Amino acid sequence: MNMDPQGSIAMITGASAGIGLELTRRLLSEGWQVAALIRSDFPADDRKIQEAVKNGMLRIYKSADLADYDSLRLALKEIKGKEPRIDILFNNAGGSLPGLSYSKQGREKHYELMTVVPYIILMEMKELLRNGHLKTVINTSSSAFNFTKELSIESLEQPAAFRKLIGPYASSKLALSLWSQALAPELAREGIKIRSVDPGGNNTLRKGKESGLPIGVRLLMKLFFSPPTKGASRLYEGAFGEHRNETGVFLMKDQVTGLKFTHQADTILGRISEIYNSEFLVERV
């Protein structure tokens, strides 16, 4: 990393488990302050995490459901009221669901949580990012979207069918990377850089949580996939590594990689911008 993290603030969504937790641990160990937007609690038996909470290096903001705009709005308002700036934003929250489900707003849950909500968070945090030093956004994507055969606003919001991992999950991650690419020039005019990053295959299975992964993939995870420290390292490198001065790119295995359906990028960006302005902002009034 090319800067002294002393006093620097990273905001991480989904920070209390899996890749987000390992990224939180790494940044704290390097002297970063972390503003964590989470749904579930941090491990109570993690001494270093609990010490960071007590000394104020780790600040917790909770939302019962990030895909519920009422809950999300309250959490983001609290962050804006308490944090002086954000140097880097990691939009990391997400996961694969076991079946087709919909958000409170009526859209498919993967799409709402992993495509639309990261945009909302970015828009709401822009002022804090402009006050920061790095002014960088890292969106956690996935190479699973290589299995996506078709993409449209209609199929994202109201899919006709559901397939684990390579269905709504994959297409939502592709849409995330596409709008990241499309928004990059506008953000650049404000001094903000944005990249989407594939964290690779990680064993993020959790006991007691129903998985949205096919049985074969779950078995492969248990036997062969790396621990979530690997994914955290990929996000870290995406933020601070050799591509730190680039914007709008998708990184896979630390390399700039092309995207499918790039002709849909502006359409997707336009739709989620419309949702933000007509639903998230309007309800606030």
Q: Quote the CA–CA distance of 270 and 148 in Å, as a whole number.
A: 21
Residue 6's pLDDT is 65
Residue 282's pLDDT is 85
pLDDT tens column, 26-42: 999 999 999 999 999 99
Tokens matching residue 169? 């999950």
User: 70-75 — which CB contacts under 8 Å span 24+ positions?
Assistant: 70/104, 70/283, 72/117, 72/120, 72/121, 72/280, 73/280, 73/283, 73/284, 75/37
Residue 1 in any domain: the answer is no
pLDDT tens column, 43-84: 999 999 999 999 999 999 999 999 999 999 999 999 999 999
Residue 2 in any domain: the answer is no
Residue 62's pLDDT is 97
Residue 125 in any domain: the answer is yes
DSSP 8-state secondary structure symbol assigned to residue 160: S
Residue 5 φ then ψ, to 5°:
-75, -5
Residue 46 in any domain: the answer is yes
The gap between the terminal CA atoms of the chain, to the nearest Å, is 41
pLDDT tens column, 170-193: 999 999 999 999 999 999 999 999
Can you say how many angstroms the Cα of residue 166 is from the centroid of all Cα atoms in its chain? 18
Q: Quote the CA–CA distance of 113 and 138 in Å, as a whole number.
A: 16
**Is the pLDDT assigned to residue 98 strictly greater than 50?**
yes
**Is the pLDDT assigned to residue 285 strictly greater than 50?**
no
Q: Which residue has the higher pLDDT, 241 or 206?
A: 241
Q: Quote the CA–CA distance of 132 and 46 in Å, as a whole number.
A: 29
Tokens matching residue 257? 């990689």
Please state, rounded to an integer, the average pLDDT across all residues of the chain.
91
**pLDDT band of 165, cuts 50, 70, 90:** confident
CB 17 within 8 A of CB 207: no
Residue 219 in any domain: the answer is yes
Between 45-59, 198-212, 219-233, the lowest mean confidence (pLDDT) is in: 198-212
Residue 189's pLDDT is 98
List the 58-62 sheet strands across, edge first: 58-62, 33-38, 9-13, 88-91, 136-140, 193-198, 250-252, 255-257
Question: What would you measure as the largest C-alpha separation in the chain, in angstroms?
Answer: 51
Residue 216 in any domain: the answer is yes
Residue 4 in any domain: the answer is no
Tokens matching residue 23? 């990224």
Q: What is the pTM of this model?
A: 0.92
Residue 3 in any domain: the answer is no
Helix (H) / strand (E) containing 19: helix 18-29
Average pLDDT over residues 278-284: 83
Q: Into how many domains does the chain fold?
A: 1
Average pLDDT over residues 8-14: 97
Helical packing angle, 18-29 and 228-240, nearest 10°: 60
Domain CATH for 73: 3.40.50.720
Where b means 16+ CB within 10 Å and e means fewer, 189-198 reads: eeebbbbbbb
Residue 208's pLDDT is 53
**Is the pLDDT assigned to residue 212 strictly greater than 90?**
no
Average pLDDT over residues 154-179: 95
Residue 217's pLDDT is 55
Single out the residue of 123, 115, 53, 62 nearest to residue 89, CA to CA: 123
The residue range of the domain holding 52 is 9-284
